[in-house]
């Protein structure tokens, strides 16, 4: 199960910098998680300053 970034994302990039498998990239309006690359480690969820990342 991958994580998902919701509309509360402020595009700070902290999650992308933390992801050990580079599964997070900038999208059109928010950062997005590639579900095929995500290993569900939860590192991104813990560093998001606005709580915009949750397990799918």
pLDDT for the residue numbered 13: 97
Q: What total number of domains does the chain contain?
A: 1
* Domain interval for residue 26: 3-55
pTM of the model: 0.91
Summarised one tens digit per residue, pLDDT across range 1-56 is 799 999 999 999 999 999 999 999 999 999 999 999 999 999 999 999 999 999 98
Radius of gyration from C-alpha coordinates of the chain: 9
Residue holding tokens 């991958």? 2
Domain with residue 30: its CATH number is: 3.30.70.20
Give the Cα separation of 16 and 31 in Å (integer). Answer: 8
pLDDT for the residue numbered 1: 77
Give the bridge partners for 3, in sequence order: 55
pLDDT for the residue numbered 49: 98
Per DSSP, 46 falls in state: H
Q: Other CB atoms closer than 10 Å to residue 32's CB: what's the count?
A: 16
pLDDT for the residue numbered 56: 87
């Amino acid at each position: 199960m991958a994580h998902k970034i919701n509309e509360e994302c402020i595009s700070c990039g902290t999650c992308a910098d933390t992801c050990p498998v580079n599964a997070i990239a900038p999208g059109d309006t928010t950062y997005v998680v590639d579900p095929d690359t995500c290993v569900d480690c939860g590192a991104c969820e813990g560093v998001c300053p606005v709580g915009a990342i949750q397990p799918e």
